[in-house]
Amino acid sequence: MADTYVSDELRSFILKRIDSVVQIEALLLIRSGAQSHWNATGLARRLYIVESDAAEALSRLCAAELLVCVDGNYSLDGIPPQNLELVGELLEAYSHHLIPVTNIVHSKSRRIGSFADAFKFRKGS
Protein backbone atom coordinates (compact mmCIF):
# COMPACT_ATOMS: atom_id res chain seq x y z
CA MET A 1 0.00 0.00 0.00
CA ALA A 2 1.46 3.33 -1.03
CA ASP A 3 1.72 6.05 1.58
CA THR A 4 1.10 9.60 0.42
CA TYR A 5 3.79 10.92 2.76
CA VAL A 6 6.57 8.46 1.95
CA SER A 7 7.71 7.73 -1.61
CA ASP A 8 8.11 4.14 -2.74
CA GLU A 9 11.86 4.72 -3.10
CA LEU A 10 12.13 6.04 0.46
CA ARG A 11 9.98 3.18 1.81
CA SER A 12 12.29 0.68 0.14
CA PHE A 13 15.33 2.51 1.51
CA ILE A 14 13.95 2.41 5.06
CA LEU A 15 13.07 -1.27 4.81
CA LYS A 16 16.52 -2.17 3.48
CA ARG A 17 18.76 0.08 5.57
CA ILE A 18 17.04 1.29 8.75
CA ASP A 19 16.35 -1.06 11.66
CA SER A 20 15.15 1.32 14.37
CA VAL A 21 13.94 4.79 15.21
CA VAL A 22 17.19 5.21 17.19
CA GLN A 23 19.06 4.94 13.90
CA ILE A 24 16.91 7.67 12.37
CA GLU A 25 17.45 9.87 15.42
CA ALA A 26 21.22 9.25 15.20
CA LEU A 27 21.23 10.24 11.53
CA LEU A 28 19.15 13.32 12.28
CA LEU A 29 21.53 14.39 15.03
CA ILE A 30 24.68 13.76 13.00
CA ARG A 31 23.26 15.54 9.95
CA SER A 32 22.07 18.52 12.01
CA GLY A 33 25.47 20.12 11.55
CA ALA A 34 25.86 21.32 15.14
CA GLN A 35 28.57 18.69 15.54
CA SER A 36 29.33 16.67 12.42
CA HIS A 37 31.30 13.89 14.13
CA TRP A 38 29.86 11.85 16.99
CA ASN A 39 30.99 8.93 19.10
CA ALA A 40 28.76 6.40 20.85
CA THR A 41 29.14 8.07 24.25
CA GLY A 42 28.09 11.52 23.05
CA LEU A 43 25.26 10.14 20.97
CA ALA A 44 23.95 8.07 23.88
CA ARG A 45 23.93 11.10 26.16
CA ARG A 46 22.17 13.25 23.59
CA LEU A 47 19.52 10.63 22.71
CA TYR A 48 19.04 9.50 26.34
CA ILE A 49 19.90 5.88 25.58
CA VAL A 50 22.53 3.50 26.91
CA GLU A 51 25.90 3.60 25.22
CA SER A 52 25.69 0.00 23.99
CA ASP A 53 22.45 0.81 22.12
CA ALA A 54 24.06 3.88 20.58
CA ALA A 55 27.12 1.85 19.56
CA GLU A 56 24.92 -0.82 17.96
CA ALA A 57 22.87 1.77 16.05
CA LEU A 58 26.02 3.48 14.79
CA SER A 59 27.56 0.17 13.78
CA ARG A 60 24.46 -0.85 11.84
CA LEU A 61 24.35 2.52 10.10
CA CYS A 62 27.97 2.02 9.02
CA ALA A 63 27.17 -1.47 7.74
CA ALA A 64 24.29 0.05 5.74
CA GLU A 65 26.70 2.64 4.25
CA LEU A 66 24.85 5.50 5.92
CA LEU A 67 27.73 6.54 8.19
CA VAL A 68 31.49 6.29 8.12
CA CYS A 69 33.57 5.60 11.23
CA VAL A 70 37.10 6.93 11.64
CA ASP A 71 38.83 6.41 14.98
CA GLY A 72 35.54 5.89 16.82
CA ASN A 73 33.96 9.03 15.38
CA TYR A 74 30.95 8.68 13.10
CA SER A 75 29.95 11.05 10.32
CA LEU A 76 28.23 11.30 6.96
CA ASP A 77 31.55 12.23 5.32
CA GLY A 78 32.28 9.84 2.49
CA ILE A 79 29.03 7.90 2.26
CA PRO A 80 27.81 7.22 -1.30
CA PRO A 81 26.06 10.30 -2.76
CA GLN A 82 22.83 8.39 -3.48
CA ASN A 83 22.67 7.33 0.19
CA LEU A 84 23.32 10.89 1.35
CA GLU A 85 20.44 12.07 -0.83
CA LEU A 86 18.10 9.43 0.60
CA VAL A 87 19.21 10.24 4.15
CA GLY A 88 18.16 13.82 3.44
CA GLU A 89 14.81 12.65 2.09
CA LEU A 90 14.34 10.36 5.11
CA LEU A 91 15.05 13.14 7.57
CA GLU A 92 12.72 15.52 5.73
CA ALA A 93 9.92 12.95 5.78
CA TYR A 94 10.63 12.09 9.44
CA SER A 95 10.49 15.72 10.52
CA HIS A 96 7.12 16.29 8.84
CA HIS A 97 5.51 12.84 8.90
CA LEU A 98 6.85 11.11 11.99
CA ILE A 99 4.10 8.51 12.34
CA PRO A 100 4.13 7.16 8.76
CA VAL A 101 7.94 6.86 8.82
CA THR A 102 8.05 5.14 12.21
CA ASN A 103 5.25 2.82 11.11
CA ILE A 104 7.45 1.64 8.24
CA VAL A 105 10.35 0.98 10.62
CA HIS A 106 8.10 -0.88 13.05
CA SER A 107 6.44 -2.89 10.29
CA LYS A 108 9.87 -4.25 9.42
CA SER A 109 10.41 -5.67 12.88
CA ARG A 110 6.89 -7.13 12.94
CA ARG A 111 7.54 -8.90 9.64
CA ILE A 112 10.83 -10.32 10.91
CA GLY A 113 9.07 -11.54 14.05
CA SER A 114 6.29 -13.14 12.03
CA PHE A 115 8.82 -14.90 9.83
CA ALA A 116 10.72 -16.18 12.87
CA ASP A 117 7.48 -17.37 14.48
CA ALA A 118 6.89 -19.62 11.48
CA PHE A 119 9.87 -21.68 12.59
CA LYS A 120 8.83 -22.14 16.21
CA PHE A 121 7.79 -25.60 17.24
CA ARG A 122 4.34 -25.74 18.71
CA LYS A 123 3.11 -28.22 21.26
CA GLY A 124 1.41 -31.08 19.50
CA SER A 125 3.20 -30.47 16.20
Sign of the four-CA dihedral 77, 64, 16, 21: negative
pLDDT for position 37: 86
Contacts 24+ apart (CB under 8 A), 27-32: 27/61, 27/66, 27/67, 27/76, 27/87, 27/90, 27/91, 28/91, 28/94, 28/95, 30/67, 30/74, 30/75, 30/76, 31/76, 31/87, 31/88, 31/91
Query: pLDDT tens, 26-70?
Result: 999 999 876 778 999 999 999 999 999 999 999 999 999 999 999
Q: Average the pLDDT over 86-105 and give the result.
A: 94
Query: pLDDT tier at 113 (50, 70, 90 boundaries)?
Result: very low
> What pTM was computed for the model?
0.82
**Domain at 8-116, CATH from 3.90.550.10, 1.10.10.60, 1.10.10.10, 1.10.260.40:** 1.10.10.10
The domains of the chain are located at 8-116
Burial class (CB in 10 A: 0-12, 13-18, 19+), 93: buried
pLDDT for position 63: 96
Task: Check if the beta carbon of residue 80 is closer than 8 Å to that of residue 65.
Answer: yes
- Quick check: 110 pLDDT over 60? no
